[in-house]
Structure 1
């Protein structure tokens, strides 16, 4: 009996010590785990809307896009537009696309359809050469890019339209200008190319502007960070083309600009406001 009491006492004493150790450890362990989990969840949730809000450059309004473009125009050409000139260029000259943070070239055809609205087919497919309603080589849309490779990519994006809406690629790499002149004697609804070749074809009256409704400017940046408006030689060629054939039409309200791709709105708007 004594030994069993002694064993029981030892067992009870050991059990008592264990019960006195573990209960205090468990609550602090649970209390620390839950707050850490909440902090991690909060850390994952906060940056997402923040990065989407600050990086949503393609979501800029028509007014901001116009401000960006006019700031680029003035800076690149060393000119200062007066208040009267700026007032004559309205936000309606911007054709907005429903783009996400990273524009999808493959969806470009669908975006153009949506931007034109119900009248898109009438504008892009209007008439035929046989009916005499349109002039040969006169596209409704001219897309301007910084390179031949990018031209091919943009035209691929128009693929959903070009089964009926004939497209023309206008760049100098591997294509003689005589070949393009011959091609432009046919019906063309969309043209895409580099600034220098587009201007040459307009100069010799092979590329017509009678139906031109939109100029789409590809704002894509290459691996070195250059774009249509920042690559030195291409930039100069673009502004030469724009000043000669497009600016007056923009001012008169007969032509719209479509900026395809991300643009740095904040810096350019500040630059424009300091000049005007």
Structure 2
């Protein structure tokens, strides 16, 4: 036996264990370093998207406004207007408005009609026959004395052929045995009317202003024997229009008045009535 003492077996470290510990620590450090060396990947935040409320289109707004601002028809206006009987001042104002912009002061003065040119107006209580009897009480004598061709004693001016026929039927109680001539364009040629006026004697002519004006211009109708001119002023059609509410009829009536009637009224030979 020697002098050296041998250590107990349990106190001697196992080199393999140290190597394992070192390797483990080295691996841990390396892993830590690797994880530290890699930069942290930041997630991109989504940019908030702007949200807009849908605005109504301008077209829709304009269409709505267009519907609200719909132009009123004359029938809508007249429906809300109470019916008032026509008076001489209505015709006077109509003539002044029509000629006011295009005529001189002297010319407008020559177209004015005094109250003495007018017959009593219909107050909406008369039938056509009763109205004619009121304004012309000596009709029987006038029709007996009338012998001239191409002329009539009384002219009745209305808006259409159908209205002319209605008035002719409604004057039965007044006209007696006098002859009535239809003076409108529907189904009747102007040459036929001129031939009838030239060959026969007629007392009353009922028709539209356009046809009467054409007959006067072509010398088919003479107004020298005419004593009364009645305007169908108050009657309204299905659209609630009076004859002076229809542009064509209004213009033709004013042209007829200007052509010869106003002059005859101012001279006192013709009287105007508004039925």
TM-score after normalising by structure 2: 0.62
Aligned residue runs from structure 1 range 243-254, under 5 A: 243-254=258-269
Q: Distance in 2 between matches of 1:98 and 1:233?
A: 24
- 1:86 Cα offset (Å): 8.1
2:119 is equivalent to residue 95 of structure 1: yes
Q: Distance in 1 between matches of 2:242 and 2:104?
A: 23
Q: Distance in 1 between matches of 2:223 and 2:270?
A: 10
Per-residue CA deviations over 1:8-54 (Å, capped at 9, x if unaligned) read xxxxxxxxxxxxxxxxxxxxxxxxxxxxxxxxxxxxxxxxxxxxxx9
- 1:55 Cα offset (Å): 6.1
- 1:92 Cα offset (Å): 2.1
RMSD (CA atoms): 2.7
174, 178, 184: which one pairs with 2:187? 174
- 1:227 Cα offset (Å): 2.0
* 1:225/1:80 CA distance change after superposition, 3 Å: farther
Is the partner of 1:178 in helix, strand or coil?
Answer: helix
* 1:57/1:143 CA distance change after superposition, 3 Å: same
- Greater Cα shift, 212-221 or 156-165: 156-165
- 1:248 Cα offset (Å): 1.0
2:198 is equivalent to residue 202 of structure 1: no
Per-residue CA deviations over 1:69-104 (Å, capped at 9, x if unaligned) read 11011112335767x938973322111156435x53
Gaps of 5+ in 2: 1-80
**Residue aligning to 2:109:** 85
- Structure with greater Cα Rg: 2
- 1:178 Cα offset (Å): 1.6
Is the partner of 1:246 in helix, strand or coil?
Answer: helix
Task: Determine if contact 2:160/2:208 at 8 Å carries over to the other structure.
Answer: yes
Task: Determine if contact 2:243/2:250 at 8 Å carries over to the other structure.
Answer: yes
Q: How many residues align?
A: 191
Gaps of 5+ in 1: 1-53, 128-133, 261-276
Task: Determine if contact 1:96/1:115 at 8 Å carries over to the other structure.
Answer: yes
202, 209, 222: which one pairs with 1:188? 202
Task: Determine if contact 1:171/1:198 at 8 Å carries over to the other structure.
Answer: yes
Q: Distance in 2 between matches of 1:165 and 1:243?
A: 29
Task: Determine if contact 1:97/1:112 at 8 Å carries over to the other structure.
Answer: no
TM-score after normalising by structure 1: 0.62
Q: Distance in 1 between matches of 2:176 and 2:105?
A: 42
- 1:214 Cα offset (Å): 1.1
Aligned residue runs from structure 1 range 120-159, under 5 A: 120-127=139-146, 134-159=147-172
Is the partner of 1:184 in helix, strand or coil?
Answer: helix
Greater RCO (CA < 8 Å, at least 6 residues apart): 1
Structure ranking higher in helix proportion:
1
61, 69, 88: which one pairs with 1:66? 88
2:252 is equivalent to residue 225 of structure 1: no
